[in-house]
Amino acid sequence: MTTEQPKQLDIDSMSLDQLTQLKQSEENRLDMITTRYSQLRAASSRFNAAKTALTSITSSSPPSSSSSETKKPLMIPLTASLYAPGYIQDANKMLVELGTGFYVEKSSKEAHAFLERKLKIVDGNSENVLKVIQMTRQNLE
């Protein structure tokens, strides 16, 4: 695997119009990358919230009790401000969204592991994007 050297531009030989266009291009790139970083941080927050909810649901249920004894009340969101009361019958069975509307049933341990993997990926991508943001800002100075 070869490493590419960053493309060097000779800004001394560029006209004022070319420099202005280059600066505008870098500012647009920075805006796009910053938006992407915000999206990744929002995804990380959603995964952390899901992990917290999963932990709170599974931590209070005894592992060997029957499903009729483990019914837990919760509020089911119908819209952003409308909820309906409901019950979890089996806290060990979760539906996990894999993406684009695909769901799979997993145990609570498997769901927790899935969320951990997703968080690791999102946080790794966030770190990479943050490095690119810092380099782009440095280029703009």
* Per-residue pLDDT reduced to its tens digit, 53-107: 999 888 765 554 444 455 788 899 899 899 999 988 888 899 999 889 899 999 9
Of 38-47, 84-93, 131-140, which one has max mean pLDDT? 38-47
| Element housing 72 (H / E) | strand 72-77
DSSP per residue over 73-140, as a string?
Answer: EEEEESSSS-EEEEEES-TTEEEEEEETTEEEEEEHHHHHHHHHHHHHHHHHHHHHHHHHHHHHHHHH
Which has the minimum average pLDDT: 6-10, 19-23, 41-45? Answer: 6-10
Read off the pTM: 0.74
- pLDDT grade, residue 3 (50/70/90)? low
